[in-house]
Structure 1
Amino acid sequence: MDDVPDEPEDYTPAPPPPEYPTTISPTSPTAFPPLPTRSAPDDAVEDTSEDEETSSGASTPQTPMTEAERAHALELHTTTTAASAANLEASRFFRSNDPAQAEALYTKAILLDPSAPTLYTNRAMARLKLGLLEGVLEDCASSLAIKEKANMKARHYGAQALVGLGRGREGLKEAMEAYKIAVKEEAGSLGSVVSVVLKCKKAAWEEREQERVAGTEGVRGKVVEGLRRDLERRIEGVEEGEKEGVRKEGEEMIEEVERVWVEAGKAEKKRIVPDWAVDDITFSFMVDPVITKTGKSYERASILEHLRCSPTDPLTREPLRIDELRPNLALREACEEFLKENGWAVDY
């Protein structure tokens, strides 16, 4: 698998039929070569056990490939060769920063061979550059329908499209699937995959924040509504001459409640977790960071668990031993200070 997320993948066409020329000339004496053969069915093979000495050097009886089978194989080879050429040309345009032309040629390749998952992820990559996010999701779904397992690129591109469409939590799910595949296959592009996971996690967090703020606004509305109902009951219970004074007093109280609520909302800082505080293995807030010999920091528990399985840096893939880890005291102090003022970050 090509493990570079933003690099087109190659596509291999089907081979030509056995013993069949790739180019046939009407005047060529080999224009119609002998039919390729297939192994004969078991029941068509004679029992030669009684004469093992004479049959030991003989080849297995063969039956010829039918004209229909050979024609189908040749058609498949011709079609997929054309698809491969279109894919190759599309990739050249993509690398030349012309995703529109690349997208058109990837579409041509897909029409020639709609069964190749690689062609869909290549087009998804081009569509992502063009901002055709719904199209990206369609291509990723098509690719996964053909090849569900170990399809890192379909998950990777789908995650980015979902975030772009404001569906961060769905995007995070896809990004984490891409991350798991990249880790398992020790992909050299793990760093790029991690960056998309972090982007998706931020988007998912912002969605939850918007829901929280909306919920707070809903609470304010209910409080004000309750105060108004209570005011109306109070007005009904007093003499006619006192009603205006009670109403004025009640309205002033409601206005004050709304003013205080608005001011409190303005004073509240936007809840954002800084990148330096997030572990690149678990994507959680770090509380006990350690630093590697290359200067990269991880949460102690997560890097120890990783090194027990693989003695390498998760991102750089360079050799790394447990005894080479050192506490990152400065980062730990910064994380502690951040948590003192932003206790909510533990839920990130």
Structure 2
Amino acid sequence: MARLKLGHWESVIADCQTCLALSPQNMKAHYYLAQAQLSIRDFDSALDNALAAHKLCAATNDKSLSAVTAMVLRCKKDRWADREKKRLRLEREVEERMLDLLRRDRDEMLMAEEDEIERKVIEEEANEKIATLSGVFEASRTQSQKKREVPDWAIDDISFDIMVDPVITKTGKSYERATIMEHLRRHPSDPLTREPLSAADLRPNLALRQACEEFLEQNGWAVDW
């Protein structure tokens, strides 16, 4: 824990991996390992360990479940942000390459044409193409750079996916129908309180379902969250 606070990530990773080799079900080792891996931008591994920690937490009803759940969501968010950053960089490189080709084509045509009127036409048409292409990329960039974040109320706490058919339990907590039904097949109890719970106790959360549908309608990227 001290090394984690000091930011000695590689040492934390080595210690946690040694611990897990001896005790694969050590929840804290998975949790600390996820934090360290996230700090060195190993997003996939961090998410795997955060999910492992969450699974162990849920199985034992550990009081750290909320913190571990938050770590899972943070791993998913940071991984998406990293991928989005790379996508935007690649898009910029493609844009610059295409614009450069258009400019070269324009300059070559101008050099080959001696008639001033034709040169003017060539230059105007080429510049219009360049401006149009730049506008297309800018519009795409503006749209993609809008803040993308899945609200907590839309996320199922079992699968960590956005909900499409949420149901509500006796305690007022909502889950995705498929995931809570799978949970009840294995453990006929409330995931949070551990009190008895059956499929008959579940009710459709129509208001939340409508909200999730509207969110997905405007944010299709959230399907892959």
TM-score (norm. length: structure 1): 0.58
Equivalent of 1:176 in 31, 51, 60? 51
- For structure 2, list consecutive stretches of 5 or more residues without a partner in the other structure: none
Residue type of the alignment partner of 1:278: I
The partner residue of 1:250 within 126, 140, 154 is 126
Q: Which residue of 2 aligns with 1:144?
A: 20
Indicate whether 1:239 and 2:114 are aligned: yes
- Which has the bigger relative contact order, CA under 8 A and spacing at least 6? 2
1:208 aligns with 2:88: no
Q: Aligned to 1:313, which of 187, 190, 197?
A: 190
Q: Give the distance between the partners of 2:99 and 2:44, measured in 1 at CA.
A: 33
Distance 2:23 2:84 in 1: 33
Q: Read off the aligned partner of 2:33 and give its amino acid letter.
A: G
Deviating more after overlay: 248-257 vs 218-227: 248-257
Partner of 2:69: 194
Counterpart in the other structure of 1:293: 170
Tell me the equivalent position of 2:37: 162
Equivalence map 1:3-14=2 (5 Å) = none
What is the DSSP-based 3-state SS (H/G/I as helix, E as strand, rest coil) of the residue aligned with 2:159? Answer: coil
SS at match of 1:340: helix
For residues 93 and 186 of structure 2, what CA distance do their matches in structure 1 show?
48
1:278 corresponds to: 155
Secondary structure of the 2:175 match is strand
| 1:205-235 Cα deviation digits (max 9, x unpaired) | 2122222222322331232133123324423
> CA-to-partner distance for each residue in 1:74-93, whole Å, 9 max, x for gaps?
xxxxxxxxxxxxxxxxxxxx
Deviations 1:90-113 (A, max 9, x none): xxxxxxxxxxxxxxxxxxxxxxxx
Which stretches in structure 1 are left out of the alignment for 5+ residues? 1-124
Asked whether the 8 Å contact 1:191–1:315 carries over to 2, the reply is no
| Cα shift at 1:297 | 0.9
Q: Which residue of 2 aligns with 1:327?
A: 204
Report the CA distance between 1:191 and its aligned residue.
Answer: 3.0
Give the % identical residues: 49
Q: Which stretch shows the higher mean deviation, 286-295 or 134-143? A: 134-143
Deviations 1:14-45 (A, max 9, x none): xxxxxxxxxxxxxxxxxxxxxxxxxxxxxxxx
Structure with the higher fraction of residues in helix conformation: 2
Cα pair 1:169 1:203 within 8 Å, conserved:
no
Q: Distance in 2 between matches of 1:126 and 1:233?
A: 64
Cα separation, 1, equivalents of 2:212 and 2:194: 26
TM-score w.r.t. structure 2 length?
Answer: 0.86
Alpha-carbon separation, structure 1, partners of 2:42 and 2:151: 21
The Cα RMSD (Å) is 2.4
Decide which moves more: 253-262 or 202-211.
253-262
